[in-house]
Amino acid sequence: MIGIVYSDSDTASLNIKKFLPKKGKFCLIRTSNALTLECSGNYELLIFVSKHESSGGVKSLTCHTPGNYGKAEFGGKTSVLSYSNALIQSLCLKKLAELNKSRGWDFSVGFEATHHGPSLDVPCLFVELGSSGTEWNNREYCSGIAGVVAELVNKYGSIMKGNGRVCVGIGGSHYAPAFSKLAMEKGFNFGHICPKYTLNLLDKGSFRQMISKTVPEPSTVVIDKSVNSKKRKEVIKWCGELGLSAEALK
């Protein structure tokens, strides 16, 4: 079963939910706070429809996996990542980009790095509309995102039969432009992303979480050029210990 999570305290979430099919291969999960959700049940995937907020107010369509590399300041558990479905997450990004182009919208489209709660033992994906009430209350935007989510649900079985390259990303900014570009243009499938600003929290244990909690099993670790040489060497060493290939961007 696939669960679609919406929050009754989130304007965008409520508006996107209105445009979801009345019936489908999913169940709706209502919560008052998605970041602190505790979920029981035999779910294959949880998709959170959500608002996105940014200080700059940039119009954005984003997707990402929840989890905390350090202290759980916004839900979830300290130093615990949720599971990430790299195939679903990367296809979601591509579908959001296609939607933006086909509708003639002017959104910034990209991954976000892994951040905030909840921390759950099931693959999770946040699909977010940002970054102000103007966007959250726009029927066309909300219906478009609902269509993307419905497509991911309806095609889940065939998507999971795909055999594309599965990766995790190390470094870069919160919005992961290099990894987003690789997903959209080169067919890379990204699960967890650890941005530059949390590299001080990335130790062998959290790195192993990135790998073990990305499905399907990743084969490659992509290292952004923003990663300093000391951390790059450390990550490459961990890759060798786990039999993973390391690809450093230039």
**What's the pLDDT at 56?**
84
**Does residue 223 share a domain with residue 102?**
no
Contact 12, 59 (CB under 8 A): no
- Quick: pLDDT tens for 1-49: 999 999 999 999 999 999 999 989 999 999 999 999 998 789 999 999 9
- Quick: pLDDT tens for 211-243: 999 999 999 999 999 999 999 999 999 999 999
Question: Cα angle vertex 51, ends 196, 179, to 5°?
Answer: 30
**Does residue 234 share a domain with residue 194?**
yes
- Evaluate the omega torsion of the peptide bond into residue 216 and state whether it is cis, within 30 degrees of 0: yes
Q: Is the pLDDT of residue 163 over 90?
A: no
**What's the pLDDT at 174?**
97
**Does residue 154 share a domain with residue 122?**
yes
**Does residue 207 share a domain with residue 86?**
no
**What's the pLDDT at 217?**
96
**Does residue 201 share a domain with residue 83?**
no
> Of 133, 159, 185, which residue sits at a domain end?
159
Other C-beta atoms closer than 10 Å to the C-beta of 114 total 27
**Domain region containing 224:** 166-248
- Quick: pLDDT tens for 190-199: 999 999 999 9
pLDDT above 90 coverage of the chain, percent: 94
**Does residue 184 share a domain with residue 73?**
no
**Does residue 152 share a domain with residue 127?**
yes
Q: How remote is the C-alpha of 71 from its chain's centroid?
A: 19
Q: Map residue 3 onto helix, strand or coil.
A: strand
- Taking the C-alpha atoms of residue 111 and residue 88, their distance in angstroms, rounded to an integer, is 12
- Residue 125 — pLDDT band, cuts 50, 70, 90? very high
**What's the pLDDT at 57?**
86
**What's the pLDDT at 127?**
98
First-last CA distance in the chain: 41
> Residue 57 sits in a domain of what CATH number?
3.40.630.50
**Does residue 201 share a domain with residue 155?**
no
Average pLDDT, the chain: 97
- Taking the C-alpha atoms of residue 20 and residue 53, their distance in angstroms, rounded to an integer, is 22
- Quick: pLDDT tens for 77-95: 999 999 999 999 999 999 9
> Residue 187 sits in a domain of what CATH number?
3.40.50.10700
**Does residue 35 share a domain with residue 153?**
yes
**Does residue 6 share a domain with residue 44?**
yes
**Does residue 68 share a domain with residue 151?**
yes
> Of 105, 133, 159, which residue sits at a domain end?
159
**Does residue 28 share a domain with residue 9?**
yes
Q: What is the DSSP secondary-structure string of 59-124?
A: -EEEEE--B-SS--SSSS-TT-B-BEEHHHHHHHHHHHHHHHHHTT---EEEE--S-SS---SSBE
**What's the pLDDT at 91?**
98
- Residue 55 — pLDDT band, cuts 50, 70, 90? confident
- Residue 101 — pLDDT band, cuts 50, 70, 90? very high
**Domain total of the chain:** 2
